[in-house]
A and B are shown apart, each in its own frame.
Chain A
Amino acid sequence: MNAVVPPVLEGLYAWAEKVEYSAVGTAIAESRYLFVMIEGLHLLSLAVAFGLLLLVDLRLLDAALGGVPVARVLSQLRPWIIGAFMLVFVSGGLLFWSSAARMVANPAFGIKLVLIALAAINALYFELAVGRGMAKYADKSVTPRAVRFAGVASITLWSLVIVSGRLIPYLPSWIEGAIP
């Protein structure tokens, strides 16, 4: 536990160690079946959340669900996508609880969080600035540029979130001597 922590990360790493070694963190990490069930929930809810969002994004790009109007796709899939993403975040939070120090020490996890933040900003920008006006161009045959851009950004960012998440066990820790 004599980790060589860069000064910038000292406070964060100390906090993460407390989280990981808390009663709940230890309980999740040590319960084989609970941990595996949460892993499964994280994977499957992420598949549904990102997959449905992908279909919506492809609809914005006129590459999927062509038989259903854009406004209908947006309004009717939104609650399912938000619900699935909530499951992703809750299960992800529980997984983090059980491995906080290891995650803080992992470059792929840091990159993943940054990408999630960017994807969230893109979603907010779309919902607040672009999506509001969707009704206006619902009848137009050509989707506005801003809408297409938001769709491409969403697909790209969430795909990179998945890649960085999968790389977590493969990248070496950036804190020397951190718990493996």
Chain B
Amino acid sequence: MSFAAALDVLQNSAVAHVISKSNHLVGAILQVAHIFGIVLLLASLVLATLRLLGWTLVETPVPVVAREVRRFFRIGVTLAAASGTLMFIATAKLYGVKPVFGLKMALFAAAVAVHVLLLSRVLRQENPSQGAARAAAILSLGLWIGVGFAGRMIGFV
């Protein structure tokens, strides 16, 4: 099945029809849920990376700060991904073909990879090396910010 056909199947699915035939407020609610997801995700990440860079809460060990925000990060990612998936299903043919949507997904994949392979490992260490801490913090924050900007552009470009 081609990519275009896949988008077609998605947008003609039962879930997509339920969302797009419903009141505009359903779309607005999904958007608000997406923003709350971003709020939790980004704030948790910013706090953990600021700690890694030694810019805040320096008296508290890195793994303690990381443990404290992990729950909120996970709730944020789940909320953003679930609401984002539902919004995408309803508008697959409109947005799926946009280059900036592809860019957002590529940045998202890279952010997840950096998170799993680098950041989450560094955050478990009591005294991570400064180089690893900086690389993980800057890469992760930069990629997630890129995801946010690319996402905001989808509706405009």
Contact A80 to B68, CB < 8 A, known contacts A40-B153, A43-B35, A68-B60: no
Chain B's nearest CB lies how many Å from the CB of A151? 15
Question: Contacts of A36 on B, CB cut-off 8 Å?
Answer: 152-153, 156-157
Q: Is B43 touching A51 in the complex (CB atoms < 8 A)?
A: yes
Check if A111 is an interface residue, CB within 8 A of chain B.
Answer: no
A39 to B39, CA, bound (A): 15
A56 to B32, CA, bound (A): 21
Interface residues of B in 18-70 (CB under 8 A from A): 24-25, 28, 31-32, 35-36, 38-44, 46-47, 50, 56-57, 59-60, 64-65, 67-69
Question: Contacts of A47 on B, CB cut-off 8 Å?
Answer: 35, 38-39, 41-43, 148
Q: Looking at the complex, which one of A39, A67, A76 makes contact with B152 (CB distance below 8 Å)? A: A39
Question: Contacts of B56 on A, CB cut-off 8 Å?
Answer: 76-77, 80
* Interface size band for B: 20 to 34
Chain A's nearest CB lies how many Å from the CB of B69? 7
Check if A147 is an interface residue, CB within 8 A of chain B.
Answer: no
Chain B's nearest CB lies how many Å from the CB of A138? 14
Q: Is A48 touching B42 in the complex (CB atoms < 8 A)?
A: yes
Question: Contacts of B42 on A, CB cut-off 8 Å?
Answer: 44, 47-48, 51
Q: Is B38 touching A68 in the complex (CB atoms < 8 A)?
A: no
Chain B's nearest CB lies how many Å from the CB of A71? 11
Q: Is A51 touching B57 in the complex (CB atoms < 8 A)?
A: no
Question: Contacts of A48 on B, CB cut-off 8 Å?
Answer: 42-43, 46
Q: Is A40 touching B43 in the complex (CB atoms < 8 A)?
A: no
Q: Looking at the complex, which one of B38, B39, B68 makes contact with A65 (CB distance below 8 Å)? A: B68
Q: Is B60 touching A162 in the complex (CB atoms < 8 A)?
A: no
Question: Contacts of B135 on A, CB cut-off 8 Å?
Answer: none
Q: Is B47 touching A55 in the complex (CB atoms < 8 A)?
A: yes
Question: Contacts of A16 on B, CB cut-off 8 Å?
Answer: none
Q: A41-75 toward B: CB 8 Å interface, digit per residue (1/0)?
A: 00110111011101100000000111110001100
Check if B145 is an interface residue, CB within 8 A of chain A.
Answer: yes
Question: Contacts of B65 on A, CB cut-off 8 Å?
Answer: 68
Q: Is A50 touching B43 in the complex (CB atoms < 8 A)?
A: yes
A77 to B56, CA, bound (A): 7
Chain A's nearest CB lies how many Å from the CB of B68? 5
Check if B72 is an interface residue, CB within 8 A of chain A.
Answer: yes
Contact A43 to B68, CB < 8 A, known contacts A76-B56, A166-B32: no
Q: A73-107 toward B: CB 8 Å interface, digit per residue (1/0)?
A: 10011001000000000000000000000000000
- Please list the residues of chain A having a beta carbon within 8 angstroms of any beta carbon in chain B: 32, 35-37, 39-40, 43-44, 46-48, 50-52, 54-55, 64-68, 72-73, 76-77, 80, 159, 162-163, 166-167, 170
Question: 5 additional contacts, CB 8 Å, given A72-B60, A76-B57?
Answer: A46-B39, A47-B41, A50-B43, A64-B68, A77-B56
Q: Could you name 18 residue pairs across A and B whose Cβ atoms are closer than 8 Å?
A: A35-B156, A39-B156, A40-B153, A44-B149, A47-B35, A47-B43, A47-B148, A48-B43, A50-B39, A51-B42, A67-B64, A67-B67, A68-B57, A68-B64, A72-B59, A77-B57, A162-B39, A166-B35
